Amino acid sequence: MMNMFFRYLMVVITLFATAGCSKRLDETSLPTYIRINDVYYTQMSLQFENGEYLTTNYRRGVLLPINTQVILQEITDDEILLEILSSHAKLRIENVQKHTGDTTTQAFPKLLAKNKVDLSSFSELEREKINAGQVANGMRKKAVIAAIGYPPITETLTLESNQWTYWSSRFNRFIVYFENDRVTRIQD
């Protein structure tokens, strides 16, 4: 009787231990734009804490500027593991699908690409703010994405909207308002 109890207990422990584990994606099944151990460039400025960036896109922590070189170490069904080349620091990107609307492989090209973002198409103000990971009045929508990334889809249903809601942290939001594709105000 006691032996059966311990077997049952081991099954329950094993189930709980594996419940939250990510499934590593097989490299042969990945899209052609994703290759393990390849060098990529960040496609927007990211902010991360404790070596982790959530695609919920909280605006706090350490700034990782746009066009930062990284090496893809691993990709799973819900995370991307990187090494930042300049510092050799590890960065874990967790894809929170309810906030991106994308699978991890769909979110990947929004975050990383083989080529740098051409900043020459942006105004001097936009380049300055993109490099600082900030938004200012007068910036175009594509510059806002480069500077602070995509807003969570749970708050901003479409990028066609003239009001994008971001989260500063888990409990604080700010709204970027647009008119004619330009930021007109930012509300904290």
Condensed to tens digits (0 to 9), the pLDDT of residues 50-83 reads 999 999 889 899 999 999 999 999 999 999 999 9
The region, left, alpha or beta by phi > 0 then psi within -120 to 50, assigned to residue 63 is: beta
pLDDT at site 5: 47
pLDDT for 2-25, tens place per residue? 554 444 444 444 434 444 456 777
Determine the pLDDT at residue 136. Answer: 98
**How are beta strands 89-94 and 52-54 bridged, if at all?**
parallel
Whether residue 177 contacts residue 161, with contact meaning beta carbons closer than 8 Å, is answered with no
In sequence order, which residues have a C-beta less than 8 Å from that of residue 123 and are 6 or more positions away? 138, 143
**pLDDT for position 29:** 75
- pLDDT in the model for residue 16: 43
Per-residue model confidence (pLDDT) at position 6? 44
Amino acid identity, position 111: L
Q: What is the pTM of this model?
A: 0.84
> In this predicted structure, what is the pLDDT of residue 15?
39
